[in-house]
Structure 1
Amino acid sequence: MIEERIRQVFAEAGAEGRLHAIPVHGPARAVGETGAEAGAKPGTGTGSGSGSGAGAGAEEPGGREVGIGADDPVVIASIFKVLLVLEFARQVAAGQLDPRERVRVTAADRLGGWGTAGCLDDVELSLRDLAHFAMSVSDNSAADLLLARVGLDTVRLLAAELGLERTRIVGGPRDLLESMLTEVGACDERDFAVRYPALPDDRKRRLAVLDPRRTTASTPREITRLLRLVWTDAAGPPEACSFVRDLMGRQVFRHRLVSGFPDDVTVAAKTGTLPGLHMEAGVARYPDGGCYAIAVFARTQALAASRPTVDAATGRAAGIAVGFLRGDGR
C-alpha cells in the first residue's frame, strides 16, 4: 500500500509525516509555465482586478490523490509566503500597488537569516524585489515589510476567497518571532539565543509557533489546493499567478522536494522550517507535461532545524507519491 511505503520512509528518518499529492490539470499555457516563459510580470498585463474565479480548475472530485493525514492541521511557517506574494501580485495586477515602489530595509527591520534579513547595512529595493527575496531565499524581513504594505487582513481574505477554510494566518515573521521571545522570556534575539538552548525539550515543544492550533497553519490538502489554483490561473489574474509560479521556480533550496525527483523534472516550491518541523510545498513538472502538486510536512522529536535525513525523506516521500499518481510503479 502506497501510504504504508511513505510512512515507512518517514519512520526510517525518525519523523512523522503528513502529505498530500494530486495531479494538476488546467490551461495548457498555465500548467508548469514560469513567469519568464509567459513574458509577464505583475503590472505589465491587463489584470482583471482581484477576482480569482477560484472554481475554475480548482478541484476534481474523485480524482487520484495520495494522502497521509491530508486533512490534519499542520504548521505552515514560511509556506504562508505563497499566499502573501500571491496577494501582492493580485494588487499589482489590479493597479493598487506599484511593484517598483522603493522600500528601505533598516537595522530595525532585520530578523536574521537569509537575504536582507541578515544584511549588516541598510538596503533599498522595490516591492517586487521584496517578493523575490521572500520566496527565493525565504527572507523574513522582506516578507514582513511586504506584508505591512499588502495588509494582513487582505491576505486572510484571500485565503477565504480561495476556499482555504482551515488556513489561518496569525501574523508575519516578526509576530511569530515576538511570540517566541515572549514565551521564552527574552528581551531580544540575542537574549533568546542564550535562553532557548537552556530550555528542556518539553518546554520547547510547547511554544505556540510549533502548535497548529495557535499559529499560522493549514492542512496538506488546502496547500495543494492553493498550488492547483495558482498553476491553473484560477487564483487571480493570469499575470499574478504567473509571477508566483516564476518566483517559486527560483527558490534556491534544493534539499527537500527536488531531491526526490529525476534531474529532468522541474520543481517549483516553497520551504518552511522551524525546530523539529521540516516542510515544503510545490509542483513537479515532468518532460511529458504532467504536473503534480505536493505538500509534505515532517515532524521530529529532535528539535534541530537542520536534519538532512529528514529533508531527504520529504523528497523521497514526494517522489513515491507522484510516481504512484503517474502509475510508474515506484
Structure 2
Amino acid sequence: MSTRTATEDRIRRIFAEAGARGQLHAVPVRAGTPAAGGVDGGRGGREVAVGADDAVVIASLFKMLLVLEFARQVVAGQLDPRERVRVTSADRLGGWGTAGCLDDVELSLRDLAYFAMSVSDNSAADLLLHRVGLDTVRLLAKELGLERTRVVGGPRDLLESMLEEVGARDEREFAARYPALSDEGKRRLTVLDPRRTTASTPREITRLLRLVWTDAAGPPEACALVRDLMSKQVFRHRLVSGFPDGVAVAAKTGTLPGLHMEAGVARFPDGECYAIAVFARTHDLSASRATVDAAIGRAAGMAAAYLRGDGR
C-alpha cells in the first residue's frame, strides 16, 4: 500500500470515528501557476483525495466566489467599495454580524464583504450579492473552469427553501418544527442535496483557492483582498485546529444541519502553502459538532503532512 493510499485510508477512519463521512482534497499551492483551462493535482500530481470529485453542498463557501467577484468589480472601477448600504430588519436573517443585529446598521460595500468572510454574515452576503449580481458570480465560476460548481442563490434563497419545505412562516416557527422532523425528513431538505442546491466538488474548491493564491483568479489586487479577508475569519475550530503554532491558515467555513465544511490555505513557516477543502456529513444529525470539527482539523493536518513528505 502506498503512503498516499495509507494517508487517505487514515483520513476516512478519522471521520468514521467521529460519526461522519468525509471528503477532502489537498494540493500544494505553488506547484506552478494554475492556468484557466486546467490545474494539475499538484507537484507531479501530488495530492490527497478522498471523494475529491464527488458533488458536495458548499453552503457559505460560495462567499469566496462572491467576494472575489466583488473585488474584481472594485478593481475594474465598476463598484465603489465605499458605497453605503443600510441593513434593515427586512434584511436580517439571524446569526453572526449584521444578520443578528437588533437595529438597522449602515456600512460600506467593502465592510459587507468583510463581515461575509470574517463571521459568515448571511445578511451581508445577500446584500453584496444583490449589488454584484448572481449571474456575474455564476459566470465567474465558469470563467475559472469550475464546471461542476453551481450557485443557485444567496443565503435568503436557501433559508426560504427550508422554511417552505418545513411549512414554517419564519425562523422562529422553523426552529420549533425542525426538531420534530425525522432524520430522513431532514436529509430530504433541498439545501442538503448537492444535486439541487449550491454545490461543487472538493477538487474544484481547491482549484479556486489555488487560482486566488497565485493571482490567476483576477487582478492581483482583487486576489489579495480575498486572501486578506479569509485570513481574518474568526472561527478557529476546524482547519486551524489541525496545525501547530506558526502555521497561518486563511479559510472560509460553512455549516448546515449535519454538514460541516471548511476550505482554506495553510502557510508553513518555510513559505510553502497548501490548499485544502474538507467536507463532513454526519450520520447522526445530532452528532457532536466539536467531534466533527476536530476531525476536519486532524484530516487537514494529516493531508498537509503527507504533501510535505513528513511521513505521517
TMscore range, shorter length: over 0.9
Summarize deviations over 1:245-295 as a string: whole Å, max 9, x none.
000000000000000001110000000000100000000000001100000
> How big is each residue's C-alpha offset from its partner over 1:136-159, in whole Å with a ceiling of 9 and x where there is no partner?
000000000000000000000000
Give the one of 164, 187, 191 matched to 2:146: 164
The residue type paired with residue 228 of structure 1 is R
One-letter amino acid of the counterpart of residue 264, structure 1 = G
- RMSD of aligned residue pairs (Cα, Å): 1.6
Relative to 1, partners in 2 of residues 1:276 and 1:225: Cα closer, same or farther, differing over 3 Å? Answer: same
Distance 1:217 1:227 in 2: 16
In the alignment, the residues of structure 2 paired with residue 306 and residue 148 of structure 1 have an alpha-carbon distance, to the nearest angstrom, of 35
Cα distance between partner residues in 1 of 2:31 and 2:227: 14
* Alpha-carbon distance in 1 for matches of 2:288, 2:139: 33
Q: Is it true that 1:192 corresponds to 2:197 in the alignment? A: no
* Cα distance in structure 2, aligned partners of 1:110 and 1:17: 32
Contact 1:183 1:207 in 2 (8 A): yes
Aligned to 2:92: 110
* 2:283 aligned with 1:301: yes
Structure 2 distance, partners of 1:305, 1:206, is: 18
Q: Which residue does 2:3 correspond to in 1? A: none
Matched, 1:132 2:114: yes
Structure 2 match to 1:25: 30
Structure 2 residue 249 is matched with structure 1 residue 244: no
- Out of 16, 22, 30, the position equivalent to 1:11 is 16
Deviation at 1:238, TM superposition (A): 0.2
- 1:167 and 1:217 in contact (8 A); partners too: yes
Matched, 1:68 2:28: no
1:304 Cα deviation from its structure 2 partner: 3.9
Structure 1 position 188, deviation (Å)? 1.2
Measured in 2, the distance between the counterparts of 1:288 and 1:182 equals: 50
- Show CA shifts across 1:41-62 (max 9, x none): xxxxxxxxxxx97359x44674
Alignment coverage as a number of residue pairs: 306
CA distance in 2, matches of 1:55, 1:300: 34
User: Could you tell me which amino acid in structure 2 is paired with residue 327 of structure 1?
Assistant: G
Q: Does 2:102 match 1:120?
A: yes
Please tell me whether the aligned partners of residues 41 and 47 of structure 2 are also in contact (alpha carbons under 8 angstroms).
no
Q: 1:304 to 1:102 in 2, by over 3 A?
A: farther
Equivalences for residues 1-330 of structure 1 within 5 A: 1-25=6-30, 54=36, 58-59=39-40, 62-304=44-286, 307-330=289-312
CA separation in 2, counterparts of 1:94 and 1:186? 42
How far apart are the structure 2 equivalents of 1:281 and 1:193?
28
The question of whether the paired residues in 1 share the 8 Å contact of 2:150 and 2:198 is answered with yes
Query: Residues of 2 paired with 1:299 and 1:12: CA distance?
Result: 13
Which of 186-195 and 243-252 deviates more?
A: 186-195
Deviations 1:293-319 (A, max 9, x none): 000000002224861010000000000
Matched residues in 1 for 2:288 and 2:127: separation? 26
| Distance of 2:161 and 2:35 partners within structure 1 | 36
Structure 2 gaps, min length 5: 1-5
1:282 partner SS:
strand
Residue matched to 1:45: none
Q: Distance in 2 between matches of 1:135 and 1:59?
A: 28
SS of equivalent to 2:147 = coil
Q: Which moved more, 1:98-107 or 1:296-305?
A: 296-305
Identical-pair percentage: 82
**Which stretches in structure 1 are left out of the alignment for 5+ residues?**
32-51
8 Å contact kept, 2:27–2:41? no
CA distance in 2, matches of 1:227, 1:201: 33
Whether the aligned pair in 2 keeps the contact of 1:277 and 1:305 (CA below 8 Å) is no
1:160–1:305 Cα change, 3 Å: farther
TM-score of the two chains, using structure 2 as the length reference: 0.95
Counterpart contact for 1:117–1:139, Cα < 8 Å: yes
